[in-house]
């Protein structure tokens, strides 16, 4: 058995082909992301990875729409989105595969 702590990971990412990580794999990346109201991420896309975001709690804006608890968004390679936490929010994000340097600012 291995043990790790989320606070020792980078920006909530704890599974993937990077360090630090609780599980090193190139199959996928997994994160638990905590946001404060007003936090933003710039418009970006992935060329290789598919990104799945589960809104666990709070309200967020992605793809120019408002989403809340239980909403699951699947972005295919080339689909771009920005992100804004409208309230404090908790998300789980899964990307597959774990492709290094596969985050590009702006639209595809």
Residues of the chain with pLDDT below 50 are none
Question: How much is the pLDDT for 97?
Answer: 98
Report the C-alpha gap between 84 and 42 in whole angstroms.
9
Report the C-alpha gap between 52 and 74 in whole angstroms.
4
CB burial string 6-21: b at 16+ within 10 A, e below: eeebeebbbbbeeeeb
Of the candidate CATH numbers 2.60.120.10, 2.60.120.560, 3.10.180.10, 2.40.50.140, the domain formed by 29-100 belongs to 2.60.120.10
The structural domains of the chain, with segments of one domain joined by +, span 29-100
Summarised one tens digit per residue, pLDDT across range 24-48 is: 999 999 999 999 999 999 999 999 9
Report the C-alpha gap between 40 and 52 in whole angstroms.
18
Question: How much is the pLDDT for 51?
Answer: 98
Using CA atoms, how far residue 18 sits from 48, 65, 88, in Å, is 16, 31, 27
């Amino acid at each position: 058995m291995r043990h790790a702590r989320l606070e020792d990971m980078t920006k909530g990412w704890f599974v993937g082909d990077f360090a630090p990580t609780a599980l090193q794999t190139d199959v996928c990346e997994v994160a638990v992301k905590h946001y404060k109201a007003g936090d933003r991420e710039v418009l970006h896309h992935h060329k290789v990875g598919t990104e799945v975001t589960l809104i666990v709690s709070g309200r967020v804006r992605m793809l120019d729409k408002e989403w809340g608890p239980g909403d699951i968004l699947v972005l295919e390679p080339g689909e771009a989105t920005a992100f804004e936490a409208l309230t404090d929010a908790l998300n789980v994000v899964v990307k597959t595969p774990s492709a290094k340097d596969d985050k590009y600012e702006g639209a595809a």
